Amino acid sequence: MSGSTLAARALGRLLADYRKRAQMSRSAAARYLGTSIQTMSRLEDGLKAKVTHFWINGLADIYNCSDEERLLLLNLVTEMSSAHKNWWRAYEDEMKPRFDYYLGLEEAASRVSSWRLADLPGLLQTPAYRRAIEWTEHPEMPSEQVERRVEMAMRRKSRLEDDGFEVDIVVSEGAMRAQVGGPAVLAEQLRYLADVGERPNVSIRHVPFDAPTHLGSLIESFVLLEFPKLPATGMVESPVVYIEGFVGDLYLERETEVQRFRNAFAEISRVALDPDITRQRMLSRAKECGE
């Protein structure tokens, strides 16, 4: 599955490449379009949702693009405009800054690999588990607002129905044992993970406390997102590493940065127990919580 976020990202990258090739500054390109440098920056960063063929034709002119390059840009604009309306737009008032960008990447990804150190992955959380996290992070938040956020989190699960979407999760034993919301909430969450982990496109493994020293104990939780070919261009967008922070999120796209986290995930996976053993231990832990 691809979407407007991925097409916008590809468009922005190509426009930046063509502009630099033409030895033109962002401010000069913005002046040509009669817009601000901030708008130009958002366009090149893949964050501007509305882009017209008129703009792209104008930029293709001043960047001296070939007919083939111009067609490539216009096809990406068409793909952006023809993509289905993103469901998360209805929840924009409940999102932290730029999380809509992450949801767009998740919606477009063909594979997600995630290491969770302290809690269980958002894509696989139950309503009660998500609700407990929201109350912990925002104890003064009105109940109605909390429920909107829980509802938004649950809608992410629709991606799991796509067999072409692969999910590879590795969690620490600490994340499996942390009693988010209390024993009953954790038990329900672990039983859900044991169930969803039997899907052919979902793998869930855990790293036990007695595992050898590994990189996962030295770095924060992260998500590595990989993407399919874009229908409009046949290009494969480069992977992105997403790191969620308490005061702000981080997106890493440089090849060297992404490779470091890819290597880290491989190292963490090396000490993780296989999915069947993980499932047994999750069910055992869920039973303990109910006693």
Range(s) of the chain covered by CATH 1.10.260.40: 4-82
The string of pLDDT tens digits covering residues 90-137 is 998 888 888 988 999 999 999 999 999 999 999 999 999 999 999 999
The CATH architecture to which 87-290 belongs is: 2-Layer Sandwich (3.30)
The string of pLDDT tens digits covering residues 243-275 is 988 777 899 999 999 999 999 999 999 999 999
pTM for the full predicted model? 0.88
Range(s) of the chain covered by CATH 3.30.870: 87-290
The CATH architecture to which 4-82 belongs is: Orthogonal Bundle (1.10)
Q: What is the DSSP string of the chain?
A: ---HHHHHHHHHHHHHHHHHHTT--HHHHHHHHTS-HHHHHHHHTT------HHHHHHHHHHTT--HHHHHHHHHHHHHHHHSPPPGGGGGGGGSPTTHHHHHHHHHH-SEEEEEESSS--GGG--HHHHHHHHHHH-TTS-HHHHHHHHHHHHHGGGGGG-TT-EEEEEEEHHHHH--TT-HHHHHHHHHHHHHHTTSTTEEEEEE-TTSPP-GGGTS--EEEEE--B-TTT--BPPPEEEE--SS--EEE-SHHHHHHHHHHHHHHHHHSBPHHHHHHHHHHHHHHHH-
Query: Over the chain, what is the mean pLDDT?
Result: 92
